[in-house]
Chains A and B, each alone.
Chain A
Amino acid sequence: MSNLREELKEKIIEQLNLEDLSVEDIQNDDLLFGDEIGLDSIDALELIVLLEKDYGIKLTDPAEGKEVFKSIETLAQFIESKQ
């Protein structure tokens, strides 16, 4: 279970070019769109692509994304619920 969270952290660091961050820097409950990690609206769209490409989950409503992408934890739980 915790592997998924680590995997997600690695993926977002790579996909979203978060060069200044490492996996250890991201806590499961950190707000992804808060000041710490500072993702923006384009990153949100990239996460939608990531969900489909790597996990086969299609998120058609961007509004749903707001809850799903809140943190690594909410994202992991969402993916687990769909499997």
Chain B
Amino acid sequence: MDNERIVVTGMGVTSAIGNNVEENFSALQQSKSGIGKIEILETVHQDHFPVGEIKMSNEALAEYLKLPDFHYFTRAALLGAYAAKQALQQANIEEIDFQTGFVNGTSVGGMDVTEKLYHTYKENPSNFLFIEAQHPGFTTNKIADYLGINGVVTTISTACSSGANAVMMGAKLLQKKRLKRVLVGATDCLSKFTLNGFHSLRILSSDLCQPFDQHRKGLNLGEAAGYLVLETEEDAKKRNQPILAYLEGYANANDAHHQTASSATGEGSFLAMQQALKNANLNPQQIDYINAHGTATPNNDLSEGTAIQRLFQETPMLSSTKAFTGHTLAAAGAIEAVFSILSLQHQCVFPNLNFQTKMEDLNFSPQTSFQKQEVNYVLSNSFGFGGNCSSLIFSKAL
């Protein structure tokens, strides 16, 4: 790694399997998936596609966050503030000053608002205020304002790797001493925009998704928000703040193949994982567990699986937690970072649900049960549209 060691001192998450870290862990431990019928989002596809929906309405979230009546928070902002609060609380940040930054990832940002109000703008000019909500930056700023963060605040929008890239960006800002502490992560909500969009690409499954299964048919969408607080090891120790895990290494690479599909040999994934290992000064055999991107699309799992086989002589224990939460788009990298850290804290690996048949093209099968075991290094993959491939490596706190 570069200079100082980067540590995680706070975590927060809300997803289809729980509204805080403990609830999420509990569900992972009990193999309890959160994917089911759409209830809150109003869509013609309500009965067609199972999703990982967070069963908290916008009203309930706004009430919990004690927002005023006219708050203009998008759903992504509500979920984001909800999860970010947990992370900051755990990290015990006494004073949020200009040396505290926020790097937020999102792909749809305010789309939930736009699609509800788009056709009303002509008749209801008062809704114009929401036009701005379309921009991802609007959601980020709402969360930042709510938390009182006004140091470096920026938004990353790189599709499904945004969350992981936010973690990387935060680490870099700390290494360059631009900030003393940084809240990093991502948020995305369900929307007709993505549901219809992904359906037009024919990569949604009408059943529960089956990552790394020979008969996988596609992904289930989900919504979530996940955040970490990062600091340097030195700073955390100085203020006696418990360290949850170390961010050992990270990397990002482009597949240079197609706008939305991955190359057959998984070149981008391979490069991202390889470089993350190099960045962390580790050999492949030192990785104990891979939290895979594993969306359960025919394309991703083959591409990612192939890349993993190329890199690892012996594939470590591996699972995709997307069968629990659904594919939460930008938030995936962030909530899976939280899951990776849980794996280190509790010395366990999580199951890859709904697996039945090994893929013919791969020589490994995923882990199918919750298992306690020694875990020192976890690799977490997040691969986004646009060939944007990111890998993060976390290690156990001592």
**A touching B, CB within 8 angstroms:** yes
Are A49 and B200 interface neighbours, CB within 8 A?
Answer: yes
| List of B residues within 8 angstroms of A40 by Cβ | 258
Determine the distance from Cα of A7 to Cα of B258 in the docked complex, in whole angstroms: 29
A45 contacts B260, C-beta separation under 8 Å: no
A62 at interface (Cβ–Cβ under 8 A)?
Answer: yes
A42 within 8 Å of B by Cβ? yes
Complex Cα spacing A40 to B259, Å: 11
Main secondary structure of the interface of B (DSSP, over half): loop
Residue A41 at the chain B interface, CB threshold 8 Å: yes
A45 touches B202 (CB 8 A): yes
Residues in B192-233 with C-beta less than 8 Å from chain A:
200-202
Interface size on A, residues (CB 8 A): 7
Contact between A62 and B259, CB atoms less than 8 A apart: no
Which A residues lie within 8 Å of B258 (CB)?
40-41
User: Please, which residue of chain B has its CB at the minimum distance from the CB of A62?
Assistant: B202
Do B261 and A41 touch across chains, with their CB atoms under 8 A apart? yes
Residues of B near A49 (CB, < 8 A) are 200
Give the B interface residue count (CB, 8 A). Answer: 7
Cα-based distance from A49 to B261 in the complex (angstroms): 19
Complex CA gap A40/B261 in Å reads 11
Give, as a whole number of angstroms, the nearest-CB distance from B49 to chain A: 14
Within 8 A of B (CB), among A33-49: 40-42, 45, 48-49
- CA gap between A45 and B197 in the complex, in Å: 12
Q: In the bound complex, what is the Cα–Cα distance between A45 and B261 (angstroms)?
A: 13
A42 to B259, CA, bound (A): 9
State which residues 148-205 of B face A: CB under 8 Å.
200-202
B260 and A42 contacting across the interface, CB-CB below 8 Å: yes
Query: Which of chain A's residues have a CB closer than 8 A to the CB of B201?
Result: 42, 45
Chain B hits for A41, CB < 8 A: 258, 261
> Using an 8 Å CB-CB cutoff, how does the interface string of B250-289 with A read, 1 for contact, 0 for none?
0000000011110000000000000000000000000000
Q: A44 to chain B: closest CB distance in Å?
A: 9
Q: Which residues of A contact B200 (CB under 8 A)?
A: 45, 49
Bound together, the chains give a CA A42 to CA B260 distance in angstroms of 9
A40 vs B258: C-alpha distance in the bound complex, in angstroms? 10
Complex: A77 Cα to B221 Cα, angstroms: 37
Q: Which residues of A sit under 8 angstroms from B202, Cβ to Cβ?
A: 45, 48, 62
Tell me which residues across on chain B come within 8 A of A45, comparing CB atoms.
Answer: 200-202
Name the residue of chain B whose CB is nearest to the CB of A40.
B258
**Within the assembled complex, what's the spacing in Å between the Cα atoms of A9 and B187?**
43
Given the complex of chains A and B, what is the CA–CA distance between A62 and B202 in angstroms? 8
A49 and B200 CA atoms in complex are apart in Å by: 8
> 0/1 per residue, A4-28, Cβ < 8 Å to B?
0000000000000000000000000
Contacts of A42-83 to chain B: CB distance below 8 A: 42, 45, 48-49, 62
Q: How many angstroms from the CA of A79 to the CA of B258 in the assembled complex?
A: 30
Closest B residue, CB atoms, query A65: B202
Query: Distance (Å) between the CB of B98 and the closest chain A CB?
Result: 45
When distances are taken between beta carbons in the complex, the residues of chain A under 8 Å from B261 are 41
Report the separation of the CA atoms of residues A45 and B202 in the bound assembly, to the nearest whole angstrom: 8
Alpha-carbon separation in the docked complex, A48 to B202 (Å): 10
Q: Which residues of B contact A48 (CB under 8 A)?
A: 202
Complex-state Cα separation, A42 to B203, whole angstroms? 12
Residues of B within 8 A of A62 (CB): 202
State in angstroms the CA–CA spacing of A45 and B201 once bound together: 7
Expressed in whole angstroms, the minimum distance between the Cβ of B258 and any Cβ of chain A is: 7
Which of chain A's residues have a CB closer than 8 A to the CB of B259? Answer: 42
Taking the closest CB of chain A, its distance from the CB of B107, in whole angstroms, is: 18
In the A-B complex, the 10 residue pairs with the smallest Cβ-Cβ separation, listed nearest first, are A62-B202, A45-B202, A45-B201, A41-B261, A45-B200, A49-B200, A42-B259, A42-B260, A41-B258, A48-B202
List 12 interface pairs A-B (beta carbons < 8 Å), by A numbering.
A40-B258, A41-B258, A41-B261, A42-B201, A42-B259, A42-B260, A45-B200, A45-B201, A45-B202, A48-B202, A49-B200, A62-B202
Partner-B contacts on A (CB < 8 A): 40-42, 45, 48-49, 62
- Mark B residues whose CB is within 8 Å of A: 200-202, 258-261
